[in-house]
Each structure stands twice: as structure tokens, then as C-alpha cells.
Chain A
Amino acid sequence: DVKVTQSSRYLVKRTGEKVFLECVQDMDHENMFWYRQDPGLGLRLIYFSYDVKMKEKGDIPEGYSVSREKKERFSLILESASTNQTSMYLCASTTRTGSDEQYFGPGTRLTVT
């Protein structure tokens, strides 16, 4: 079974703090993704990575950066957290070969106060 884990289920941070969200997958998947999910807006892609040290901006990258130093780990960084970044953050991964089903981690509910 594919397993995608995220570092925290719930996180509360203050405005202006630097926030790190970590995601680890154990299936040797090449592609990894960060989404945020907000009511009425669905899942929106922030960044994705198709290989170590490779990344591409998604639809809403402003205010975020990412790091992928190892194949199994993909980190999302909020350089200076703001209240409009309060959201559910979801990490996902897929393989590049064969089937392309995307599997999600449990999510991190981030609240910025």
C-alpha cells in the first residue's frame, strides 16, 4: 500500500512566522504535490516536483516555496505566514511510470492567527 505521511495533523502559527510542512512517501514515487483545500474552492495546486531538486509552480505559488532534497521527502515552506494561508494542506504523490493514480497524505490543518 502507498503511504504518504505529513508531519502534523494540526498546526497553529502566528502571522509572520516561517512555517515548514513536511511530506514523506514510501513508494519511491517520482512526482510529489502540494495542494491547499478551501471550502467552495476545491483543491488548488501550489507546487509540484517531478524529481529531486526539480519543482514547478502550480496555480497559487505566491507566498510559498518548496524543497525536495531527497526523493521521498517534499517540504512546503510559508516564508511569512499570513491569515489568508489558513487552510487544509494536502500532500500527494504519484509514480511517473505505469499507472498515474495520485495518493494523498492525511493533511495538515494550518491556522494562522
Chain B
Amino acid sequence: QKEVEQNSGPVSVPEGAIASLNCTYSDRGSQSFFWYRQYSGKSPELIMFIYSNGDKEDGRFTAQLNKASQYVSLLIRDSQPSDSATYLCAVRSSGTYKYIFGTGTRLKVLA
């Protein structure tokens, strides 16, 4: 059974700090990695994707991928109260249309 694991949290950080969210996956054949933000009662919104080892930056967000250790991280710099949400990690394996989602990590940014 292919799995994606996330700490459910909550992860609490003060406003302006860096928030770090982590995700591990079990399938070594995974090739695409995604981070979604989901506000309560709303649908997931794609915020980052990464395909290659290393870092990928987009504004305040940085995704980090380490295929050897099978983890992917999301860093949020200068965290704002509006970043408070649940963050879902998703993985797609090569040769399949299916995406496997973690259960999400709840982030709380304290004003």
C-alpha cells in the first residue's frame, strides 16, 4: 500500500517566523510532488509542485525534495495569520494517473 505520511499538528508559529511542514512517502517510484493549502470548509488549492531533488522557491514558499530519504518539505517564510490552514502533501507515481494524499498538517500562525 503506497502511503504518504504527515504529522497532523497543529504546528504553531508566531507571525513573521518560518513554518516548516514535512511529508514522507513510501513509493520510491514517485515522480511528482505537490503541496496544497486547504482552508476549513474549502477545497484544496495548489500552492507548490516539485519534480527534482533540491529546492524550489515561489514567493514566500519553498518546496524541498529529497528522493533518497523519501521526504518532501514545505517552508513558509514570513508566516502570516492568513497562512493558517491545513496543508496537504500529494504524490504521484510514475506510470499511474493516481495521486496519493497525506491527511494534512494543520498550521496555526499566531498574531
Contact = CB atoms under 8 A, between A and B. Distances in A.
A103 B101 contact: no
Interface stretch (A14-22, A42-50, A63-71, A79-87): A42-50
Nearest to B46: A101
Q: Binding site of B, secondary structure by majority: helix, strand, loop or mixed? A: strand
Nearest to A30: B97
Interface in B52-111: 88, 90, 92, 97-99, 101-104
A42 B101 contact: yes
Interface residues of B, number: 20
A27 B90 CA distance: 22
Contact of A103 (B32, B46, B92): B46
Q: Binding site of A, secondary structure by majority: helix, strand, loop or mixed? A: strand
Interface string A36-62: 000011110100101000001010000
A45 B99 CA distance: 8
A106 B101 contact: no
A107 B42 contact: yes
Interface string B20-63: 00000000000010101000011111100100000000000000
Interface of A: 31, 33, 40-43, 45, 48, 50, 56, 58, 90, 94, 99-107, 109
Interface of B: 32, 34, 36, 41-46, 49, 88, 90, 92, 97-99, 101-104
